[in-house]
Chains A and B, each alone.
Chain A
Amino acid sequence: MIRVALPPHLRTLAHVKEDVLLEVTGPVTRASVLDALEARYPMLRGTIRDHATAQRRPFLRFFACQRDLTHEPPDAPLPDAVASGAEPFLVIGAIAGG
């Protein structure tokens, strides 16, 4: 199972309290993980990737295994530790005031 750590506002929206566990079929990539996440929690559609363009929303980043994967191609394989469930895939909201 893939573990996805969501920022607090998206956990509230999805009605989950902890990391989300997802079954991903095929290669474990950012795109396949987000596809699985949005299929399981449709209320999150549009909140991480724009509805019209499917692009990452500008103030979100993707981290895993102490690495910033934000600018990796969406179909690039995620680290083995994410694919095995040992490490979470983190969706991070950029720090901002207000």
Chain B
Amino acid sequence: MSGVRVLVGTRKGAFILTADGKRERWNVSGPHFAGWEIYHVKGSLADPNRLYASQSSGWFGQVIQRSCDGGKTWETPGGGMGKTPEGMPTGESNKFVYDATPETGQPLTTHQWYDGTQHPWEFKRVWHLEPSLTDPDTAYAGVEDAGLFRTSDGGKTWQELSGLRGHGTGPKWQPGAGGMCLHTILLDPTNARRMYAAISAAGAFRSDDAGKTWKPINRGLRSQYIPDPNAEVGHCVHRIALHRSRPNVLFMQKHWDVLRSDDAGDNWHEVSGNLPTDFGFVIDVHAHEPDTIYVVPIKSDSEHYVPDGKLRVFRSRNGGNEWEALTKGLPQRDCYVNVLRDAMAIDSLDQCGVYFGTTGGQVYMSPDSGDNWTPIVRDLPAVLSVEVQTLQ
């Protein structure tokens, strides 16, 4: 019997929403980690019962949680499972320490600060967790200040892939109003050595050697809010997405502009077309139609809510430029929510399901590729992230 498990991160805890393949009756569990900010929860494709969650707070910092039973129980990896011969818990799960220069021990690089000076990297939180496609014990973490970490022991320890920060453009990266975060990690399902990362406000980057070395892939991006609109880095990329069957084609929601690349990010062109506004955060791709993509336009960068009081998902069936508004079941008056960058997900059932969460605490679901929508829950804390697992 097929089913889905929706993993929701909110400002005050995580929630797990489950249903069978019909997706009509939902069971809601949570809040898990009540009171903590849960930036992201994601499951492993290699073992669907293995989940990773990013738990953080302004008071207590970052904690990584792991579940081995689909979210029924959780543990801090290495922080309570293992024991010394004396019976003491061993290890630690929440240590993210940036690489330093081997010769001097000094910071590897610095980045631009708000006043134009250079500033050292300071770890704040994990924004995004991306489990390996093949190994449940391997996962990547995108963090603020922007950096990429990897675990190969199920989250007990994390090591930086510092070739990203250290490839040379780091001193030109700068935090936006929301900080300087690495929020998107994409793994190429056909090439284990290729991966993508996106950073606000630096841009998109690609590695072709499993994360060892990186290069910016921002040609074609144009951003009026930086001195050189066509600069190599400095762009506020909000999200990128790909389809598993065609991983060289990338779609991007930038601060402003929706873009597409047909050559693994080497060149981008705008596909905003007839969108009512091309500002937004989320972008995602249909499970079975590589040219069907979804965005949720947001009014502007100073008004982080949907335009005209209407919550509308826009769908393009031909890879961009031509967009249709999807509104059935969504509020079409007096609605002023936002949909954050990690808060949309797609299941892979035959009738493709689309999910997204709002800052108003609603999680909406469409069981028919976006034609019709219904809320699964209406009154959660502000939703930060939504992921879905398709269970067979």
A residues apposed to B, CB below 8 Å: 7, 9-10, 13, 15, 39-43, 45-48, 50-52, 57, 59-60, 93-94, 96, 98
Contact B78 A42 (CB under 8 A): yes
Is there an interface contact between A42 and B91, defined as CB atoms closer than 8 Å?
A: yes
By the criterion CB–CB under 8 Å, are B62 and A46 in contact? yes
The number of chain B residues touching the other chain, given as a range, is 20 to 34
Quick one: given A9-B57, A13-B76, are A42 and B35 in contact (CB under 8 Å)? no
Contact check, B59 vs A43: say whether CB atoms are below 8 A apart: no
Query: How far apart are the CA atoms of A60 and B58 in the complex, in Å?
Result: 10
Which residues of chain A are within 8 angstroms of B62 by Cβ–Cβ distance? Answer: 46
Contact yes or no, A47 B61, CB < 8 A: yes
What 4 pairs across the A-B complex have the smallest Cβ distances? A43-B79, A47-B60, A43-B76, A59-B59
Q: Which of these binds chain A: B93-101, B108-116, B288-296?
A: B93-101
Judging by beta carbons under 8 Å apart, are A47 and B123 in contact? no
Q: With A and B bound together, what is the CA distance between A41 and B91 in angstroms?
A: 9
CB contacts (< 8 Å) of B93 on chain A: these are 43
Residue of B60, B92, B123 ringed by the most chain A CB atoms within 10 A:
B60
B29 to chain A: closest CB distance in Å?
17
| Contact yes or no, B63 A43, CB < 8 A | yes
Within 8 A of A (CB), among B265-321: none
Q: Is the CB of B36 within 8 A of A9?
A: yes
Known contacts: A43-B76, A45-B95, A51-B96. The answer to whether A10 contacts B63 by CB under 8 A is no
Q: Provide the residues of chain B in CB contact with A47, threshold 8 Å.
A: 60-61, 63, 94
Instruction: Quote the shortest CB–CB distance from A16 to chain B (angstroms).
Output: 11
* Number of residue pairs spanning A and B whose beta carbons lie under 8 angstroms apart: 68
B225 to chain A, nearest CB (A): 29
Complex partner residue of A46 from B59, B61, B91, CB under 8 angstroms: B61
What residues of B have a CB within 8 angstroms of the CB of A7 in the complex? 59
Residues of B within 8 A of A52 (CB): 97-98, 123
Beyond A9-B36, A40-B88, whether A45 also contacts B94 by CB under 8 A is yes
Further contacts, 4 of them, CB under 8 A, given A43-B79, A93-B59 = A9-B60, A42-B78, A46-B62, A47-B94
A46: chain B residues at CB < 8 Å are: 61-63, 92, 94-95
Decide: A15 and B80 in contact? CB cutoff 8 A.
yes
Cβ A42 vs Cβ B92 within 8 A: yes
Report B-chain residues with C-beta under 8 Å of the C-beta of A50.
Answer: 61
B59→A13 contact, CB < 8 A? no
Q: Which residues of A contact B78 (CB under 8 A)?
A: 42
Instruction: Please name 20 pairs of A and B residues whose Cβ atoms are closer than 8 Å in the assembled complex, sorted by A.
Output: A9-B57, A10-B60, A15-B80, A39-B88, A41-B89, A42-B80, A42-B90, A42-B91, A43-B76, A43-B89, A43-B93, A46-B62, A46-B92, A46-B94, A47-B60, A47-B61, A51-B95, A52-B98, A52-B123, A59-B59
